[in-house]
Chains A and B, each alone.
Chain A
């Protein structure tokens, strides 16, 4: 247990030391690259803003991600169960996913003008639902027919088969995708926060650092974002262990 926590902490410390050395050895000014020792003062100076903005980024990301879970699972179910739907929807989904989401920021901020919270959540959702939809779809469509036949031969309804077999069997794939989606959702949130004028959240704080030439603040925001990303990632891991721990053969 001690080793489990000590190892990554040590790795982070080594990373920070190397970073500090890199800046020091090249004698870079902090407008070129801030060093780790510049960060604590920056955090301290804006500590209240970090909490307020960090919370805004976090809750909008989580709401967007929850939306992605619901809609992604539904789309996954549709393409997983119906071959026609799969043939019809796949090109649309892949095409939509291929669009760089930054290009959509001006589009949605024009459609939903002034709805900053809504736009941010929408972007977090749009960027993160795809992995969930695809993995649930694949999980369902690759279910071995014998699994279905055991219950089908007893006259079980499609819904019962889904609830008792297809759904739990797809959970490991679902959580695998959710880890990817959780980090993607942060990118979506920040995209809107940075690009839209008078935005809120950590992205807006980053932008204000840039406007005011406060470079340590910009780096501090990046670190704060990384910390939030790690938190959300491990929250997903916790859920995975709780609901799909059976798939982890090592642990049992």
Chain B
């Protein structure tokens, strides 16, 4: 692990986190959150990260986004060491954080104003409308966020996260606050967006079914301080439908993941009745 990593080794993995360790400084001393985190996400794939509450999953997103640096270990994006924020990242959170004073269209355009300040306005609008159409928000582009339902706001937030065609999409529980039906709708929206727009994604989630439906791999983190406990490859077709979740193969994967989560929670020895 300590050996220097050459560029050639990392280029096939768009996202590469090696042996990340990190502790937050709190009033009652250092609080370790990451302790030996290894994540490799090949270009164009979708990594779902699951783990117990408060295990440091959001810290992982901050590392990938370049919003913070680990105390130890390395974060690489596209063969380059991450040292700070970069324009090739898109983010969406559980809270859609749309700007209330902007219309839905102007909210989606926001990243373009930062990343491509010289892009003509008509092109920006065309790009945003293209995405809004994909997620079914045509007719709502001139509404304010407060006029939309929670699911629609989250759709708009997803559009904003990919409007500038980021290489890396970071999704921090974007469907966590939605009801079950809306959530499943959004999974399918996410799948369709992926088919239309190539990006490499890291999805933080608490929902194992979501991780299997959307992920090409599922990474289980241990309880705090988090290390990579288990990695599962999801061998399901890219154009999977919700029905796939009811197949024996998916059931088996969910079972394994559930056992892994129990281990991560330190409750493996307790037997469910």
Contacts and interface: CB of A to CB of B under 8 A. Distances in A.
Contact of A147 (B86, B97, B144, B146): B97
B246 interface: no
Interface of A: 144, 146-147, 149-156, 160, 164-165, 168-169, 171, 244, 246-247, 249, 252
10 closest A-B pairs (Cβ-Cβ)? A246-B101, A153-B65, A155-B85, A146-B97, A154-B114, A156-B114, A146-B93, A168-B101, A153-B89, A153-B91
B89 A150 contact: no
B10 interface: no
B15 to A, nearest CB: 14
Contacts, number: 63
Contacts of B87: 154-155
A147 to B, nearest CB: 5
A9 B170 CA distance: 57
Contacts of B101: 168-169, 171, 244, 246-247
A154 B115 contact: yes
A153 B66 contact: yes
A165 to B, nearest CB: 7
A153 B160 CA distance: 13
A16 B216 CA distance: 76
Interface in B66-85: 66-67, 84-85
Contacts of A244: 101
A156 B66 CA distance: 13
A165 B99 CA distance: 8
A102 B97 CA distance: 45
A165 B102 CA distance: 10
B99 A152 contact: no
Nearest to B168: A153
B50 to A, nearest CB: 21
13 contacts: A147-B99, A149-B67, A151-B114, A153-B90, A153-B91, A154-B85, A155-B84, A155-B114, A156-B114, A165-B99, A168-B99, A169-B100, A252-B144
A4 B184 CA distance: 47
The size bracket of the interface on B is 20 to 34
A156 B113 CA distance: 10
Nearest to A171: B101
Contact of A160 (B85, B93, B114, B160): B114
Contacts of A144: 95, 97
Contact of B146 (A155, A164, A169, A252): A252
B198 interface: no
B95 A155 contact: no
Contacts of A246: 100-101, 144
Interface string B46-69: 000000000000000000011100
B89 A154 contact: yes
Nearest to B172: A146
A150 B89 CA distance: 10
Given A150-B91, A150-B110, A155-B114, 11 more contacts: A146-B93, A149-B67, A150-B111, A151-B110, A153-B66, A153-B90, A154-B87, A155-B84, A160-B114, A246-B144, A249-B146
Contacts of A147: 97, 99
Nearest to A147: B97
Interface string B22-39: 000000000000000000
